[in-house]
Amino acid sequence: MKFGYLLVIAKNKKIDYLRLAYALALSIKITQKPGYDKVALVTDDTESVKQLRSPWVFDRVIEWNEKQFWDGRSWMDELTPWKNTICLDSDMLFFRDYSHWVEYFLKSETELFVPSTVYTYRGNTVVDDYYRKAFVFNDLPNLYSMYTYFKSDSELSRSFFKLNRHIVSNQDEFKNLYLQKHKPKIIGTDESFALSSKILGIQDEITYQLDFPKIVHLKPMIQRWPWPADTVSDHVGFYFDLMGQLKIGNFQQQNIVHYNEKTFITEEIVSILENIIWKK
């Protein structure tokens, strides 16, 4: 298969990541045109997938239980069944057809792309570095791994992910070597991607100025509000309608939303998305 999305989840006591991934896969199937709507799920619990009302939204289900939590995404290049993949965080939703973004990557034979620009719910570019101290102090490229495009047969991708896995597996060593000016508690995927690209000297090849992907990042302290905030939903309403469209505050969301607040995906939202897909 030429192109598909990849979601990597693991069981978690507090958060039902399968529900989030299911909602995302439903939204992909609703909005993307054929050929650009394939979704593969990597999970350590395939039995739960079978319990879903529409498990067919996952075109491939891959059982894998070697790593927990977000570490699994460092193996995305080895786990993907697609020749060209966009690996997404599971706490995201699609609202319109974004296949033209994918077409650009396919036609330009992009080997690896990781965005370095995200947006507020009001459509402004995020400029606040509140959550990015390790990046600023250690002069790392400002990468967001939530939407990672890669080509499986690319040497560049292979080197990048191989080093990334090494970083994730040897966190203390890399913190001491490269993150001395501001040490994060753990090296997350964003930090490890940034370190990999910096060490390999490929940041300009894998992230550059593009008008897409447009991803709304709903962390509260970067929304350009004039006061501090703990959560976005404390301050603006999330209005999800029966057409599967989302309004946040006074703003209709047209771009991919990375909602962060895991409780946003309720059974009701899943039901709305299921009803839309069943009628499609």
Partner 1 sequence: MKKGVVIFAHNSREVDYALTSVVSGFLAKKNLEVPVTLISDTSTVEWMDKSNIYDKALRVFENIIEVDRPVYENSRVLHDGINSKTVPFINANRSDVWKLTPYDRTLMIDSDFLIFSKELSEFWDSDVDLMISPAMRDLRGDRIGYHDIWVSDEGIPLYWATTVMFTKNSKTRLFFDLVSFIKKNYSLFSEIYRFRNTIYRNDISFSIAKHIFDGYEFIQNNHLPEVLTAQDKDLIHSFYDSGLRILLSDPISESASSIVNLKGRDIHLMNKESIVRISQDILEKI
- Sites of contact with partner 1 (CB under 8 A): 122-124, 223, 225-227, 235-236, 247, 249-252, 254
**Distance of closest approach, residue 250 Cβ to partner 1, in angstroms:** 5
Residue among 227 and 278 whose Cβ is closer to partner 1:
227
b/e sequence 193-211, b meaning 16+ C-beta within 10 Å:
bbbbbbbbebbeebbeeee
**Distance of closest approach, residue 195 Cβ to partner 1, in angstroms:** 33
Residue among 35 and 249 whose Cβ is closer to partner 1:
249
- Other residues' Cβ atoms within 10 Å of the Cβ of residue 278: 9
- The secondary element (H helix, E strand) that includes residue 261 is none
**Distance of closest approach, residue 96 Cβ to partner 1, in angstroms:** 12
**Distance of closest approach, residue 229 Cβ to partner 1, in angstroms:** 9
**What CA–CA distance (Å, rounded) separates 149 from 86?**
4
Residue among 124 and 176 whose Cβ is closer to partner 1:
124
**Distance of closest approach, residue 137 Cβ to partner 1, in angstroms:** 28
**What phi and psi values does residue 33 have, to the nearest 5 degrees?**
-80, 160
Please give the structure tokens belonging to residue 81: 């069944």
Residue among 166 and 247 whose Cβ is closer to partner 1:
247
- The secondary element (H helix, E strand) that includes residue 189 is helix 189-200
Residue among 2 and 235 whose Cβ is closer to partner 1:
235
**Distance of closest approach, residue 227 Cβ to partner 1, in angstroms:** 7
Residue among 11 and 122 whose Cβ is closer to partner 1:
122
Residue among 72 and 220 whose Cβ is closer to partner 1:
220
99: three-class secondary structure by DSSP:
helix
**Distance of closest approach, residue 98 Cβ to partner 1, in angstroms:** 16
**What CA–CA distance (Å, rounded) separates 42 from 67?**
11
Q: Does 213 sit behind a cis peptide bond, omega within 30 degrees of 0 on the bond before it?
A: yes
Residues in a beta bridge with 246 = 240
Please give the structure tokens belonging to residue 62: 């891959």
Burial class (CB in 10 A: 0-12, 13-18, 19+), 244: buried
Contacts of 202 (CB under 8 A, 6+ apart): 112, 156, 160
